[in-house]
Every structure is written in C-alpha cells, then in structure tokens.
Chains A and B, each alone.
Chain A
C-alpha cells in the first residue's frame, strides 16, 4: 500500500510543478460543497456535508448532567469524530486513533475558543447543566475531513433545539427553544505539496502532502490553528494563509445560512 502511495505522490507532485491539480481546480478553490441541516430528526441537531466526494454527518445530542467541578455554572461541550471503517479501506474498527482525536480536537478548539456556544446559558440549576455532544461521523473519506467535519458540526449546532425540561427530566419530543450559537466558525485546510500550497486537498493530494495547515476563523478572528504533517511552513506562508482563510471562510459561512 505504501508503495502505491509513493507512486501517487510522485504523480501529484509532478502535476503541481505544471501548476495543475488532479481534478483541475485552482490552487485556492474548494470542491463543490453542500450543507443539509436537520437530516436526523431524532437527534437534537444534525447535518450532512458533502465536499466533493468527502461526506460527513454530524449529530448533536443534548443531555442533562453534572458540571465540571471547576466550572460549576457552565454546561459541557464534547466533540468527537468517528473515522468509520465504511468510509475508507484504510480506516479500521476500534477506539479513535490519533487522527480521529486530532480531527475532533481541532473542530472543538474552534467552537470553544470563539465561544460560539455560550456554556453559561446551559446552566439549569445547582449541580445540573445541559451537556452538548457533537459527534462527527465520516462516511466517505476523499480528503480534507477537517473542513467538512467543522462545517457539519457547525451546521448541526445551528440546527439544534433544546428539549423541554420538566421535573428534572428532558422531554425530547418537545423543544422550548433553539441552542444559541453566536458565531459561525469555519475551518480552512491547506496542503503543502513540494513548494506549492493548495486549499481543500483531495485524497490524492493528501497522500502527497508534506505539511498541512488548518486555520479556523470567525469573520474577525482566528480562533484555532493546527499544523500537521512532517513538512514545514514559513512565517510568510502562514501570514498569507491567514488572509486566505478569512476570505474563503466567508464563502463557507454562506453555506451555513
């Protein structure tokens, strides 16, 4: 498998040298992207994102629970990602590996840093808060899982309704209000291949990637960054990609309306 990947890598790298991408996109162009909200009515919130041939669904469940000891007046936000074995021949069943954990934590960092969800609004009573579980399930892996998952998570949160609380119980069939989401956080992921940098890498490009950079933004702020891969970025490349992320982020945010 590794040997095949090396061949793929050479092919993609050669294309880049001719200023081309395998699917003929511009270097800083997203694949066609669609966002559907509310696809699973049993969940409190849900969404599906298709980014090229990558496909991710996210579900939000709301539970009643106890707050963290050091934050007694705040609700709890938990974000996980599942790289389902049905999504790729390279995904194996089992507990989340480092890739799944990293993916979930990047998405989580963006939402948390920006205070998109006001956790204090999830306070119910002394010792009791609402817990928001955002779980992203990868259904098709064709590259750039981070941006697709971040988008799915955000869309699902925007679509989340809070169940009615009665006698200390949740009544999931009756909702009182929607979850308040104050920011639309989106992530832009770049791949460095040879000396070229592309936005929204497809799977072939992922295999040829030396370094990866994800920048999550709100309209005015950078709220999460994660560099990945064995390669490196220069300072100038970083500053330049921050600018691109604000610009492309605005395009992604429109998909969430």
Chain B
C-alpha cells in the first residue's frame, strides 16, 4: 500500500504544527445513571467514560482488605473505525490497554479509604481516530472526579510519535497507521511523574527524549481543559456559591 505523505512543507497532513494538539472537548457528567461520567471529543475520537463505585467488590475474592480494587474496561465499539465491522468484546489489545489504564488510576485514587470495595471504570470508544487510550485516560479521570472519588491528582495523557526523523505530538489515525513510532504517556500533572508509558517503533535516545519533552509541553494544556470541564459542570455564578445550610 502506498504510504501517504505525513509531512508537507513542514506541516503535518492535517495542517498542524509538530507540537499542536487536535481540538479537544471534554464534558463532565454526560450520563445519568453512572456515579460519574465524562465524554471526550478529540479530533474525530468520540469517547465515553463512566465510573461506578466505590461499591461492593464482585467477585468477592478480588476484594482487598487494604484498599478498593480498581477495575477498568476499555473497549472499542464495533462501528468505531473506517474498517470493517469490529468484533464486540475484549481482544488482546483492549485487555492490555485496560490493564495499563487501571494502573494509572491505582496511582492517584485514594483507594485506602475504601477497603473491600471496587471502583469500576468503563471506557467506550465510540469513534476511534488515533490516541484512543490517551483520550480514555482524560475521560476516565474526569469521570472519577465527577463520581466524587477522592484522588491525589487528575491524570492526563497524550501520545507523541515519530514521523521519519521528526517528532510530533498527538498523532491522528493516519499518523498512527503510517508513522514510524508511537509513545503514549500519562502523567500526574502536579508532580510530573509518569503513570503510563508505552512505546513502539524505533527511537534513538535523542528522539525518545524529544518525544517525552514534547508531550510534557502540551500535557498542562490538556489538564487545564479537564479542570475547566469539571468547573463548568459544577459551575454556578460565583455569588450563587453557597454551603448547604447547617
């Protein structure tokens, strides 16, 4: 198959600069029944996250006497891509992604407060346009906050990657498919620690460093949008803020 040109006149195939994000929209509290939820549109990604819990841990033998266990299920809808009808249910890719996403939230959720319980995170990719796991992190973090679950931070994520010898941030689907390597990274924005890091493709030491720095350059913007989404959802005019009387 002919490989499309990913960089034209120093710009990327969708006209973005190397360090430019696609438009990112986050809405907190999208669903009615879940304890917390969020909806994210990022480029053409459409991703929904919902949180239930802390609630009784099923199956019981999964429960821990020390902390809440976090379950995470990341899935792609059967109609989420331009490719053929996808098979429903988990596959090897989604199981791996679910595991690494779970580990992000194990880091920030104050699980010690809720021994013997479970916190269930569901991430549904309704439309996939590259970078779905990072969009899932962004949505799930907001959904957890919306559920009132105590956390030390609001994790955020982005993928940077390699196009030829150039490094760019927030790969779209085309760059994902035909680029030369991809590095999703999630951090705790407060202290900048790395909570998720994956990489495929061939990176020299310098390229790797550049890709990491590029991601760190845009992650604060993503975090700010998460915070804004939560504030908007709970916003009332400042003078309307009122403690419930007691």
Contacts and interface: CB of A to CB of B under 8 A. Distances in A.
Given A105-B96, A230-B107, A222 B193 contact: no
A221 B206 CA distance: 10
Interface in B104-141: 106-107
Q: Which of A226, A234, A235 has the most CB of B within 10 A?
A: A235
Given A2-B64, A109-B200, A225 B92 contact: no
A238 B197 contact: yes
B80 to A, nearest CB: 17
A204 B102 CA distance: 23
Given A232-B107, A235-B192, A227 B201 contact: no
A70 B212 contact: no
B216 interface: yes
B103 A233 contact: no
A221 B66 contact: no
B100 A227 contact: yes
Counting contact residues on chain A (CB < 8 A from B), the size range is 35 or more
Contacts of A234: 192-194
Contacts of B203: 221-223
Contacts of B99: 98-99, 101-102, 228
A158 B41 CA distance: 45
A231 B201 contact: no
B95 interface: yes
A235 B197 contact: no
Nearest to A235: B212
A225 B107 contact: no
A167 to B, nearest CB: 31
A191 to B, nearest CB: 14
Nearest to B181: A113
A6 B66 contact: yes
Contacts of A221: 202-204
A102 B197 CA distance: 13
Interface string A205-247: 0000000010000101111111111111111001100110010
B195 A232 contact: yes
Contacts of B106: 230
Contacts of A96: 92
A114 interface: yes
Nearest to A210: B107
B205 interface: yes
B1 interface: yes
A220 B198 contact: no
Contacts of B204: 220-222
B31 interface: no
Contacts of B194: 227, 232-235, 238
B158 interface: no
A223 B64 CA distance: 36
Contact of A223 (B1, B66, B202, B216): B202
B199 interface: yes
Nearest to B186: A227
Interface in B53-95: 64-66, 92-93, 95
A98 B96 contact: yes
A161 B204 CA distance: 31
B205 A222 contact: yes
A222 B208 contact: yes
Interface in A45-92: 70-71
A128 interface: no
A226 B198 CA distance: 5
Contacts of A224: 199-200
A206 B237 CA distance: 51
A213 B185 CA distance: 13
Interface string A116-150: 00000000000000000000000000000000000
22 contacts: A98-B98, A98-B99, A101-B95, A101-B96, A101-B99, A102-B96, A102-B100, A105-B96, A114-B202, A222-B199, A223-B201, A224-B200, A227-B196, A231-B107, A232-B193, A233-B194, A234-B193, A235-B192, A235-B194, A235-B212, A242-B205, A242-B208
Given A222-B203, A225-B183, A239-B208, 15 more contacts: A96-B92, A98-B98, A220-B204, A221-B202, A222-B199, A222-B202, A223-B200, A224-B199, A226-B197, A227-B198, A229-B103, A230-B103, A232-B193, A232-B195, A233-B194
The 9 A-B pairs of least Cβ separation, nearest first, read: A232-B193, A225-B199, A230-B106, A227-B197, A221-B202, A98-B99, A113-B200, A233-B194, A222-B203
